A and B are shown apart, each in its own frame.
Chain A
Amino acid sequence: MKTKACHPERSEGSQSFGRRRKTAEILRSAQNDKSGKGRLWSLKFTLNGKKVSAQVPPTRTLLDFLRLDMRLTGTKGACLEGECGSCYVLVDGKPMNSCLMLAPQVQDRDVTTIEGLAHSKKLDVIQQKFIDCGAVQCGYCTPGLILAAKALLAENSHPTREEFLAGMEGNICRCTGYNKILRACEQAADAMGLKK
C-alpha cells in the first residue's frame, strides 16, 4: 500500500498538511518556545503493544506526537477539529480523535494506531477486507475508518447496517466510496464469524 514515488518533501511530517495546518503548527511551536522553556513532559505509555517513553512538549497533540516524534504517519490529520475522523486512534480500545488530545493525556494508557493492527506481517481482517472490496480510494480516511470499525466490532459482535452507520458516523471519506467501505466492514464482521 506504500507509495514509493511519493514527492520527497511531502512524504512525511507537518509539510503534508494544508496551509491552516502549517499556521497552527507554527503558532503552537512559537507558544511552546515562549512558555515551554524546556519543560517537557515525561510521557510513558503503551503504543501498539510496546512500552514507550518520550519527552514531549505538553501542548503537542497526540496526532503530532505520533506523526512527528514517533514517525507513525499512518494516523492522518485533516480538519483538526474532530469533524473528519482521519486521526482516529484507539485509546484503551476506544476510538478517539488524536487531534483533540494532548500527548500527556495518554500517560499510562494503551494506544493503538493503524500500524499496530497487523500482526507478524499478517493484516487484520478489516484491513484485508478493505483491500479485497476496493474500499480504498485516495486512502486518507482509511486508517481512521478501519480503527472505527475495529472499535465497533470489539464492542458489538454483530452490528446491523444501522449500527455500522452509527459506528462510522465520525469518519468522512471525501472520495465518497461509502458503499464499498460499508461492504468491507460487513464482510470483515462475517469473516470474523461474528455476524449472525
Chain B
Amino acid sequence: MFYQPKDIQKALGLKAELKERGAFLAGGTDLVVLMNHGKAAPENFIDLTHIPELRAIHKHNGTLELAGNVTYAQMGKLPIRCLARASLSVGGPGIRELGTIAGNLATASPAGDGSTALLALDAEVELTSVRGTRRLPLEEFFLGYRKTALAPDEMITKIFIPTNYQTDWAKNGKRGAMNISIVAVAVAITPKKEVRIALASVAATPIRCYQAEKFLAKNGLTTETIRQAVQSVRGEIKPITDHRASADYKVHVSGVMVRRLLESLVKQ
C-alpha cells in the first residue's frame, strides 16, 4: 500500500501500526535506487513529501531547527558554512531538490556528507513516535554500519544546530560533481574555542576524532599543535581499501585535509 499522510501525526500513526513493514519515503535517493536495481519494494510506503511542516526551517535563541525533510537545496542556502558546502557537494541540482537531511541521517552511510557536517556542529536530533519525543546528540544516533538509534516506530522530526560555530568543509572525490566522498572533513570551532573534527568515509559511520579535539582544546591552535593533532586523526580513523581508494591513501589525505581546514580557520 502507498500512504500519503498530510501531517506528522498521521504519518506517525501509520508507522506505529506498520513498524518495519512500512518504509518512510521522501527523496527516494536510496530506496528507489534499490528498487530500480531489482530489490523488492517495501510492503508499504509512507510518503512524507506532502507534509509541509517537515520542510520548515526555524531559528530560536541562536539555534537553527531543521525539520526532517529539509532538502540539500535548502541547506545549501544556510549561513552555516560546513553544512551549506557539504550540501552543495551532494549530487547535482535534481538530487539536492529530492534528498533530505533526515534521509541522510537515517540511511547512516559512512559517506554521509550532511551527517558529517552535522557531527562537527554538535547537532541534536529529535526522534518522534506516537509514544512521545526524545532528543539525542547526533554522536549517539549512529550505532554502527548503517545502524542507528531510530526505533521502528520513530521518525526524525527535527535537527538542532548552533549558529555560532565557526566551521569549514572539504571533500575529496574522483570528480568535481556527482561525487561520493573518498574522504570528507568538517571542522568547527565553538565559541569556547573548542575544536570539532568530523570525517566521512573513514569508518563504519561518520565519526568524530575526540583525541585530536581534546588535544587541541588543551593546547590551542598553532602550526605545531595542528601538526600533532593531524597525527592523532590519522591514528583514530579506520578506513578500508575499496574501489574508491586505498586505506593508506585515505589515512594520508584525511590528515592533509584536516590540517588545511584547521589552518584556514585559524587565519580567519
Q: Which residues of A contact B (CB under 8 A)?
A: 20, 23-24, 27-28, 31, 35, 39, 41, 58-59, 61, 80-83, 85, 88, 91, 94-97, 99-102, 104-105, 107-108, 148, 151-152, 166-172
Query: Which B residues lie within 8 Å of A27 (CB)?
Result: 38, 40
Q: With A59-B41, A107-B4, A169-B92 given, is the CB distance from A82 to B33 under 8 Å? A: yes
A152 to B32, CA, bound (A): 25
Which residues of B approach A to under 8 Å, CB–CB?
Answer: 1-2, 4, 25, 27-29, 32-33, 35-38, 40-41, 43, 45, 47, 49-50, 73, 88, 91-95, 97-98, 176-178
How near does chain A come to B173, taking the closest CB pair, in angstroms? 12
Closest chain-A Cβ to B133's Cβ sits at a distance in Å of 27
Q: List 23 A-B contacts (CB under 8 A).
A: A24-B35, A24-B38, A27-B38, A28-B36, A39-B1, A59-B2, A81-B37, A82-B33, A82-B94, A82-B95, A82-B98, A83-B178, A85-B92, A96-B94, A97-B95, A100-B27, A100-B29, A100-B33, A107-B4, A152-B93, A168-B92, A169-B92, A169-B178
Do B33 and A31 have beta carbons less than 8 Å apart?
no
**Complex: A166 Cα to B92 Cα, angstroms:** 8
Verify B43–A97 contact, CB threshold 8 A: no
From residue B51, how far is it (CB to closest CB) to chain A in Å?
12
List residues of chain A with CB within 8 A of the CB of B33: 80-82, 100
Question: Which partner residue on chain B sits nearest A57 by CB separation?
Answer: B2
B95 touches A170 (CB 8 A): yes
Are A99 and B32 closer than 8 Å at their CB atoms?
A: yes
Could you tell me the distance between the alpha carbons of A20 and B93 in the complex, rounded to whole angstroms?
A: 25
Query: Which residues from B are CB-within-8-Å of A91?
Result: 97
Q: CB-CB < 8 A to B45: which residues of A?
A: 58, 102
A31 touches B41 (CB 8 A): yes
**Given B37, B43, B92, which contacts A170 in the complex, CB threshold below 8 Å?**
B92
A23, A39, A151, A170: which contacts B178 (Cβ < 8 A)? A170
Instruction: Specify which chain A residues have a CB less than 8 angstroms from the CB of B40 in the assembled complex.
Output: 27, 31
Asked whether, in the complex, the Cβ of B98 is within 8 Å of the Cβ of A58, the reply is no
- Shortest beta-carbon distance from A123 to chain B in Å: 23
Cα A104 to Cα B48 in complex, Å, equals 11
Q: How far is the CA of A179 from the CA of B176 in the complex (A)?
A: 17
Choice from B4, B32, B178 contacting A101 with Cβ under 8 Å: B32
Q: A80-B36, A170-B95, A171-B92 are in contact. List 15 more A-B contacts (CB 8 A).
A: A28-B36, A59-B2, A61-B32, A61-B36, A82-B95, A91-B97, A94-B73, A100-B27, A100-B95, A102-B32, A104-B47, A107-B4, A151-B93, A169-B177, A170-B94
Cα–Cα, bound, A35→B21 (Å): 12
Residues B2 and A41 in contact, CB atoms below 8 Å apart? yes
- A100 near B41 with CB under 8 A, answer no
B49–A105 touching, CB < 8 Å:
yes
